[in-house]
Amino acid sequence: AQSVAQPEDQVNVAEGNPLTVKCTYSVSGNPYLFWYVQYPNRGLQFLLKYITGDNLVKGSYGFEAEFNKSQTSFHLKKPSALVSDSALYFCAVRESDDYKLSFGAGTTVTVRA
Amino acid sequence: DAGVIQSPRHEVTEMGQEVTLRCKPISGHNSLFWYRQTMMRGLELLIYFNNNVPIDDSGMPEDRFSAKMPNASFSTLKIQPSEPRDSAVYFCASSLQGLAGYEQYFGPGTRLTVT
């Protein structure tokens, strides 16, 4: 079975400060990891993914994530947050040979001006 | 590409009525997923199609729910009869399975309210 945990329901940061959204996962085999963002009344938008290779993955809008196999984590980061980054963020995982994507419960990010 | 297209964007109906949600996946994608999102349960996978064939419908709540994919460019999710507890946002997503590490692309969703 595969699962994802996002331990923080909410993250609040000031504009210009670093942003981190935490994610830990559990899979039996090799993990494929994804981050999605959802703005109000919109669908989920793909940000970035880790499949293999370099543990630091860069994605859209200046976001990056670091895969840590020993800690089974895939935290999302942005060096300098913008007010427009305020949204709901989902981490997701699937095993490399599976189609089913398991989502975390989501973390609401609020960036204050 | 226009992305995944869903219609209608909003649907308000009375309990007992039939509801049909529609989805047009991204051209060239061979996999299609229907999800339901609620505050209580988060994102739930309802059904998964590959090459127009339903592969996994274990997430379909009950017999009132049915889904079809008559061709590669169209899918429907039908609820008959609808109940208030079906109120949720329903998303369609598509992907190109076969490529390593393929990601799913989501449509804007249909917000269903059953009164």
What confidence tens digit (pLDDT) does each residue in B50-106 have?
Answer: 999 999 999 998 899 999 999 999 999 999 999 999 999 999 999 987 766 789 999
| Partners of residue A100 in chain B, C-beta under 8 Å | 45, 48, 56
Residue by residue, pLDDT tens for chain A (113 residues) are 889 999 999 999 999 999 999 999 999 888 999 999 999 888 999 999 999 889 999 999 999 999 999 999 999 999 999 999 999 999 999 987 788 899 999 999 999 99
Q: Are B92 and B25 contacting, i.e. CB atoms less than 8 angstroms apart?
A: yes
Q: How far apart are CA B44 and CA B56, in angstroms?
A: 13
CA distance to partner chain B, nearest, from residue A42 (Å) = 5
Smallest CA-to-CA distance from B72 within B35, B31, B104 is with B31
Q: Which of B50, B56, B103 lies nearest to residue A46, judging by beta carbons?
A: B103
Q: Do A99 and B101 touch (CB under 8 A)?
A: no
- The answer, for A74 touching chain B at a CB cutoff of 8 Å, is no
Residue A62 phi, psi (nearest 5)? 85, 5
pLDDT tens-digit series, residues B10-42: 999 999 999 999 999 999 999 999 999 999 999
| Partners of residue B56 in chain A, C-beta under 8 Å | 99-100
3-state secondary structure of A109: strand
Residue A34 phi, psi (nearest 5)? -140, 150
What sign has the CA pseudo-torsion B112, A48, A25, B25? positive
Smallest CA-to-CA distance from A19 within A65, A69, A71 is with A65
Q: Provide the total of helices (H) and of strands (E) in chain B, helices listed first.
A: 0, 11
Smallest CA-to-CA distance from B114 within B58, B41, B32, B38 is with B38
| Partners of residue A57 in chain B, C-beta under 8 Å | none
